[in-house]
Amino acid sequence: MNPAKDGELLRSALSFAGIARQNCMMWYEKRVLPGAIILAFLMFAAVIPAQQLTPHPIHLANGKNLVLNLPANFTMNVAVQGLKRVRFMAWSPDHRVFATDMHDLGDNSLGRVYILGNWDEKTGTFAKVTTYLDHLRNPNNLAFYTEQSQDGKPGQSWLYIPLTDKLIRYKYNADDEAPTGAPEVLAHYPDYGLNYKYGGWHLTRTIAFATLHGKTRLYVAVGSSCNVCQEKEEIRATLSVMDADGSHQEIVARGLRNAVGMENVPSIDDGALFATNMGADHLGNGAPEDTFFELDSNARTVPSGSNYGWPTCYFENGIAHEDHLVSDPKLTDHVVPKPPAGPPPPQFDCAKIPAVYTTFAPHSSPLGLEYFDSGNKSLADSFLVALHGASHREIGAGYRVVRFSAANRKPQDFITGFLVNGKVKGRPCGILRIGPDAFLLTDDLDGVIYYVHGS
């Protein structure tokens, strides 16, 4: 079958005014469609009305004012401010919130890890911010892991931090306000590339623990060195996995250009690992779509060695397409940014890409994600994803938080106002659930953490 042709037939059927949904379903059921077409059908056919958003004025201590819009049954306030490029958060074993800070957009060693303390439920604020670690090279996120108890003794807890050039871990004890010893180095990563500040390479690494197929292991996403190219280092644009002590490292997936957000969700498919991923930048303002994948789960195994298509496939309208500008370039092509010198990468069979869970508007730059299970009320069974926003703000994509679910996978606006009339007011990054219908949201432009909760 021809996926592109079938996709065109599908879009035509759904846009034809005289066809009711029931007839569309009858048409669909008579065909054996590729997985990508099925997703496109669901995204168009299961559209839910956009939720009305209500403005919430925000006043920062530095004098900056902005208005963020969110559903009427939610409210928000500033929980912490005065930070730098605050990124992702995690719960420690003793139930404290830790956060990373990359300092600024440059490749630097001024990054920090904070402990957010003295939470006041009434005001929705943290009264104390403790610097747990500093002088780190671009710490994007962090994770905790506690070993199994032995002979009646509690297992040792560890704090894991992925840096640009290496993955480290520290022994962690309850109530620590600083590490008590030197770190262990579990892995090394390439620490160079084209100019990062102008989008040339991806210096963040992202980690998440997940229990899949009977084993609890650490998953690591490493971004590409370029926009599109044939990588020299095998670890680039991959998902790898290792035991908690760093042993038995292996690459389990390729073709992930820049998977910055990753989370284990125990309540989906008996435990599943999800990730956000960014598409390339050379196809103009209208392509490619950024993506969201269920990388693996206990109920729906994704084969080890799967390929997610980069650099020779891209997504548009929820469907993977071959990118001949990359795999079969012509002298007359004008690709911006221009690929590095060298032979073009071979074309991957885009039909072999694992099914995409959903897609986002091109250049939205999806980062942090969080899942709210059935124990929540307003956000039950929903994902929230922070769309950091296009590097070129005139594109206008992203700069918001969106919501979707397994039943309705078309992302809907949940928080907007970070981009107004072409002016960037903030850039949402990390999301951490802290209670029913309640979460923390980082803004790495203003160095702010917001508290968002049901009203």
CA distances from 62 to 75, 125, 269 (A): 22, 17, 45
User: DSSP letter string over 102-138?
Assistant: --SSSS-S-EEEEEEEEEETTTTEEEEEEEEEEEES-
CB of 362 closer than 8 Å to CB of 289: yes
Euclidean distance between CA atoms 173 and 35, whole angstroms: 46
The model's pLDDT over 21-60, given as tens digits with 9 standing for 90+, comes to 333 333 333 333 444 444 444 444 444 456 799 999 999 9
CB atoms closer than 10 angstroms to residue 166: 16
Residue 124's pLDDT is what? 97
The share of the chain scoring above pLDDT 90, in percent, equals 79
Report the number of secondary-structure helices (H) and strands (E) in the chain: 4, 31
Is the CA virtual torsion 333, 223, 291, 419 positive or negative? Answer: negative
Residue 311's pLDDT is what? 96
Residue 33's pLDDT is what? 42
CA distances from 413 to 42, 52, 195, 361, 422 (A): 18, 9, 33, 12, 18
The model's pLDDT over 279-288, given as tens digits with 9 standing for 90+, comes to 999 999 999 9
State in Å, rounded, how far the first CA of the chain is from the last one.
Answer: 50
Residue 31's pLDDT is what? 35
The share of the chain scoring above pLDDT 70, in percent, equals 87
CA distances from 167 to 149, 161, 222 (A): 25, 6, 11
The model's pLDDT over 192-237, given as tens digits with 9 standing for 90+, comes to 765 544 334 799 999 999 999 999 999 999 999 989 988 889 999 9
Residue 339's pLDDT is what? 76
Question: Angle 412-139-112 (CA atoms, 0-180°, nearest 5)?
Answer: 110
Is pLDDT of 363 > 90?
A: yes
Residue 340's pLDDT is what? 75
Residue 119's pLDDT is what? 98
Mean pLDDT (the chain, rounded): 89
Residue 194's pLDDT is what? 54
Residue 278 phi/psi, 5-degree rounding, is -105, 135
Q: For the CA atoms of the chain, what is the radius of gyration?
A: 22
For residue 337, what pLDDT band results from cuts at 50, 70 and 90? confident
Q: Which of 19-23, 81-85, 130-134, 450-454 is predicted with the least confidence, judged by mean pLDDT?
A: 19-23
Residue 347 phi/psi, 5-degree rounding, is -70, 125
Please tell me what DSSP assigns to residue 11. Answer: H
The model's pLDDT over 131-190, given as tens digits with 9 standing for 90+, comes to 999 999 999 999 999 999 988 899 999 999 999 999 999 999 999 999 999 999 999 999
Residue 336's pLDDT is what? 76
The model's pLDDT over 434-449, given as tens digits with 9 standing for 90+, comes to 999 999 999 999 999 9
For residue 8, what pLDDT band results from cuts at 50, 70 and 90? very low
